[in-house]
Amino acid sequence: MASSNLILHNFWWKLLSLLLAGLTWLTIDTALQRDEQQAKVMEEVETDSRRPFYGVPITLLTSPTNTNRFIVAPDVVSVEIGSKDSKALDDLQERRVEAFVDVTDAEDEKQFRRPVQIKVPEDFVVLAVAPTNASVERITAPK
Instruction: Judge if 35 and 50 occupy the same domain.
Output: no
**Do 13 and 55 lie in a common domain?**
no
Do 33 and 71 lie in one domain? The reply is: no
- Give the per-residue pLDDT at 89: 85
Give mean pLDDT, residues 65-71.
82
Question: Residues 82, 128: one domain?
Answer: yes
Domain co-membership, 106 together with 119? yes
Mapping DSSP to helix (H, G, I), strand (E, B) and coil, where does residue 48 land? coil
For position 30, what pLDDT does the model report? 92
pTM exceeds 0.75, yes or no: no
| Model confidence at 68: pLDDT above 90 | no
